[in-house]
Amino acid sequence: MDKAMIKNAIEEGRTSLGIELGSTRIKAVLIDDTHTPIASGSHDWENRYENNIWTYSLDDIWTGLQTCYRNLVADVKEQYGISLQTIGAIGFSAMMHGYMAFDEKDELLVPFRTWRNTITEQASAELTKLFGFHIPQRWSIAHLYQAILNKEPHINQITFFTTLAGYIHWKLTGKKVLGVGEASGMFPIDMNTHQFDVRMINQFEEAVASYHLPWKLENILPAVLNAGDNAGTLTEEGAKLLDTTGELKAGIPVCPPEGDAGTGMTATNSVAVRTGNVSAGTSVFAMIVLEKDLTGVYEEIDMVTTPTGHPVAMVHCNNCTSDLNAWVNLFQDFANTFGMNIDKNELYEKLFQKALEGDADCGGLLAYNYFSGEHITGFEEGRPLFVRTPDSSFTLANFMRTHLFTSLGALKTGLDILLKKEHVQVDTVLGHGGFFKTKGVGQSIMAAAMNTPVAVMETAGEGGAWGIALLAAYMKNKEEKETLETYLEEKVFAGETGCKLEPNEADVKGFEQFMERYSGGLAIERAAVDYLK
């Protein structure tokens, strides 16, 4: 589509806007009626650690959102020479989980507690036992229950609690709602009704009865909506809050707010059963859409849903490429010492490609990439380690291969429960994130880890902001009874499968041998955590 046609699409409101508030960046993507990104804006931000809580202030949130939107508007102006005054549909998404509680005056009672906080261990354990359903520490209900157990003063004043995405949506539309995928990170979802699980709500009420709280859980939770549902419109106040210049018009339809898991699934066309996606960068998580419920409850597995309510098994690990990046920086420092000015991207590419020359099992080398704790393997803190025996094959190829393998070590520990113990079937996994940037390398190693074909799409790099823009477009443009799966397959991706790699048998066997070493060597990591302070 040429610029004149795009300009007309913008002026006529044949666009959709997605804004996602990630951990380190807020990003906005505007798409046209062919679902192609036509403008973008962003704003970098960082969480704060205040009074033992990882948080973002309300000022951080609104300043960041407004700056991101302002940069999007500037991009539209620069590219097309017009002001952005109307949009066909909007969607907001954010990092999942966390805790934002409000009183009857709609004022925040305690600072926003993000997903990164690990202060709800008791609540997580007790609720998991109560429900017979794994409740991770970062889930909103774990934060609420822990606050009750701690007898925090604000508990009696709560009239509503939600997530960051739900908060943004509420303030811009007046609607206290969540998309089902985001809601599944607040409280368990009943897979038959696609609503909060009533049985578990009743169990929760019984568990807290002795505290004589002035509210019922069902009355302070947001309403749950499916992808495609209308979740309200941008109010006059909301339009001025988002666009401080006052040019953006009110009345724009807004889709249900979603979490970054749901937008990642959407952006990678991984919302249908037997599909999955892996996001691998600083942290790593894998999501597989299930055909049926799991037979057991596992601390390593989180159960969430797609934006349409299908059950999803999620393995989330805190550590992925941070240690690998540190080693690449060391190699660059070495090169600079000898006056070799090597482009960072080229350095990554060469070192990643070198890993493909290594022994299938990494030649007996071992590493742990734990910059922080890793719940999958039972570590509350991390110590990056590299270990070898005197007879290991210590080559550059094996060294790089080891660090790529260990980037997925904790993830594979969780995935093996799904694939080997629960016999979950998955046809294709789509990879996205920095781990997959060098063509064919991270992709082949992920295929070996899962013994499953792995595909990479160019569009996957657009990320969650594009994913929530697609959900906004689906709400606005879908035909009657058209499912999200069909809409994505036929109107967005149109059969695009990306570049797919089948698992190599020797690599699969080599990864299994590496994992025996990895699992057996965890005692080394434990000793480092205990004694290296």
For residue 2, the model assigns a pLDDT of 85
d(CA 447, CA 504): 8
For residue 281, the model assigns a pLDDT of 83
The pair of three-digit structure tokens given for residue 139, joined into one six-digit string: 């889930």
In a domain, 236, yes or no: yes
Rounded mean pLDDT, 476-484:
95
29-33, 122-126, 254-258, 275-279: lowest mean pLDDT where?
Answer: 275-279
In a domain, 512, yes or no: no
In a domain, 210, yes or no: yes
Q: Are residues 393 and 363 part of one domain?
A: yes
180-214 pLDDT, tens digit per residue, is 999 999 999 998 999 999 999 999 999 999 999 99
In a domain, 419, yes or no: yes
Residue 279: pLDDT band (50, 70, 90) is confident
412-449 pLDDT, tens digit per residue, is 999 999 999 999 999 989 998 889 989 999 999 999 99
Domain count, the chain: 4
The pair of three-digit structure tokens given for residue 465, joined into one six-digit string: 């902001």
Look up the CATH number of the domain holding residue 291.
3.30.420.40
157-167 pLDDT, tens digit per residue, is 999 999 999 99
Q: Are residues 18 and 72 part of one domain?
A: yes
Q: Are residues 179 and 92 part of one domain?
A: yes
Q: Are residues 191 and 152 part of one domain?
A: yes
d(CA 28, CA 48): 23
For residue 372, the model assigns a pLDDT of 87
For residue 460, the model assigns a pLDDT of 55
In a domain, 147, yes or no: yes
Q: Are residues 114 and 91 part of one domain?
A: no
d(CA 282, CA 407): 10
Q: Are residues 117 and 236 part of one domain?
A: no
Q: Are 38 and 10 in contact (CB under 8 A)?
A: yes
Q: Are residues 83 and 70 part of one domain?
A: yes
Name 53's bridge partners: 50
In a domain, 358, yes or no: yes
Q: Are residues 240 and 173 part of one domain?
A: yes
Give the number of other CB atoms < 10 A from CB of residue 476: 22
Q: Are residues 501 and 468 part of one domain?
A: yes
- The DSSP line for 71-113 is HHHHHHHHHHS------SEEEEEE----BEEE-TTS-BSS--B
Q: Are residues 445 and 496 part of one domain?
A: yes
User: What's the DSSP call for residue 166?
Assistant: H
Interior CA angle at 185 toward 426 and 382, to 5°? 80
53 lies in which domain range?
A: 1-96+164-185+226-267
Q: Are residues 91 and 50 part of one domain?
A: yes
According to DSSP, the β-strands at 37-44 and 195-196 are unpaired
Q: In which region does residue 47 sit, left (phi positive, over 0), alpha (psi from -120 to 50) or beta (all else)?
A: beta
In a domain, 511, yes or no: no
In a domain, 348, yes or no: yes
Q: Are residues 148 and 191 part of one domain?
A: yes
